Amino acid sequence: DAKTTQPPSMDCAEGRAANLPCNHSTISGNEYVYWYRQIHSQGPQYIIHGLKNNETNEMASLIITEDRKSSTLILPHATLRDTAVYYCIVRVSVAGGTSYGKLTFGQGTILTVHP
């Protein structure tokens, strides 16, 4: 699986949009971009994933550049509860077969939302 590069930390004011960047310049054509977050002492929480089109769900939006070498996770209105470590991971995804696309966690970005 391709490696990713994320800034070690970011700050955001409560109520503002949080934009978390991720570089994955060696991503392969069949690799998806996944985002998870981990709040202290809890298991990671799935946020969103995408292949090449922008994606949006109730939690966040994922913007993937046209060349797929980078992406941005957007939390539109950050709250204090969004303070967490955010992980950007690229992996193969398998439809209906045996999963072999491991999740390799890097150090992620520590997002701190302040009042």
Partner 1 sequence: GAVVSQHPSWVICKSGTSVKIECRSLDFQATTMFWYRQFPKQSLMLMATSNEGSKATYEQGVEKDKFLINHASLTLSTLTVTSAHPEDSSFYICSADRYMGRTDTQYFGPGTRLTVL
| Residue number with CB closer to partner 1 (10 or 110) | 110
| Residue number with CB closer to partner 1 (13 or 39) | 39
| Residue number with CB closer to partner 1 (29 or 99) | 99
Q: Catalog residues that contact partner 1 under the rule CB under 8 A.
A: 32, 34, 36, 38, 41-46, 49, 51, 87, 93-96, 98-108
Residues paired with 33 in a beta bridge? 50, 90
| Residue number with CB closer to partner 1 (76 or 106) | 106
Closest by Cα among 10, 20, 5, 14 to 73: 20
Closest by Cα among 75, 93, 92 to 20: 75
Q: What b/e sequence results for 19-58 when a residue is b if at least 16 CB atoms lie within 10 Å of its CB, and e otherwise? A: ebebbbeebeeebbbbbbbeeeeeebeebbbbeeeebeee
**Least distance CB 105 / partner 1 (angstroms):** 4
**Least distance CB 14 / partner 1 (angstroms):** 26
**Least distance CB 72 / partner 1 (angstroms):** 20
